Structure 1
Amino acid sequence: MQPDKKQTSAEMAQVEKIIGLILQIGVLVSAMIIGCGLLLLLFTGHSGYSGQNFPTHFDTIFQGLLQLKPFAIIMLGLFCLILTPVLRVAVSIYAFAKERDRLYVIITSAVLLILLFGMVLGYLDI
């Protein structure tokens, strides 16, 4: 094997480890945040919101976090869980660029744009 191929293989192995670590950390952090929200919900006995209301936008989630409302904490955990695979797609673009695989860079970039577009549409309630 040529030195460039050995170096590329080593870099790709490192990127794959990083991607795996991102997924593991993202899921663990999300689970811990959701767990804290659930514990707070169990101890307080209320969600922090009246009726069937719960925070769905960033501003209401962050306002609820400042007031330690259990549903806001749970929603933050869910938001982190949703962002985990999006971050994985972004890191994959870097990995494909390192391999000089233009087709997969283009495809993965399109996937990232679709994910971001969908998130923006969801945020805007469209």
Structure 2
Amino acid sequence: MRKQPVKAEEMHEVELMIGRILRIGVVVSAIVIALGIILMLIQGTGGYPNGVEPHGFGTIMQGVLALKPYAVMMLGLFLLILTPTLRVVVSIYAFALERDHLYVWITTIVLIILVIASIIGYLGR
């Protein structure tokens, strides 16, 4: 026996969750970037010599733990980039709840493209 499709109020809750994810992601990343700017104003430097900046996630996190302003701002930008990717992941979940298999596949392909583009961008620096 086939289960009933998801009710409209359940889908409304998923849409609200997606909206919250986007808002929270943007606000958190803005706060982190602002903290980096404040640290830079206090320290008077980005925390790295001229021409040197963290590239990998590990080096960014090391810089954040050392309170290097440029690394903190890079973390904020990373969070900002991650926000719409997380929205795509939640959309896959929402389409799966609706049992809309076509859109689950399409959105999964979009997620794969995002991940591949991120990897290529990371490796290409």
TM-score by length of 2: 0.92
- Give the residue type in structure 1 aligned to 2:88: V
Q: Partners in 2 of 1:59 and 1:65 — Cα distance? A: 10
Deviations 1:12-59 (A, max 9, x none): 000000000000000000000000000000111100011132212112
Q: Partners in 2 of 1:8 and 1:77 — Cα distance? A: 37
Deviation at 1:124, TM superposition (A): 2.0
Q: Partners in 1 of 2:51 and 2:31 — Cα distance? A: 24
Runs of 5+ consecutive residues of structure 1 not aligned to the other structure: none
- Structure 2 residue aligned with 1:69: 68
Q: Partners in 2 of 1:92 and 1:8 — Cα distance? A: 16
- Structure 2 residue aligned with 1:97: 96
| Percent identical residues | 55
- Give the residue type in structure 1 aligned to 2:22: L
1:34 and 2:54 matched:
no
TM-score by length of 1: 0.91
1:16 and 2:19 matched:
no
Deviation at 1:119, TM superposition (A): 1.2
- Which 4+ stretches in 1 moved above 3 angstroms? none
Query: How many pairs are equivalent?
Result: 122
SS of the residue 2:54 aligns to: coil
**Superposition RMSD in Å:** 1.3
SS of the residue 1:124 aligns to: helix
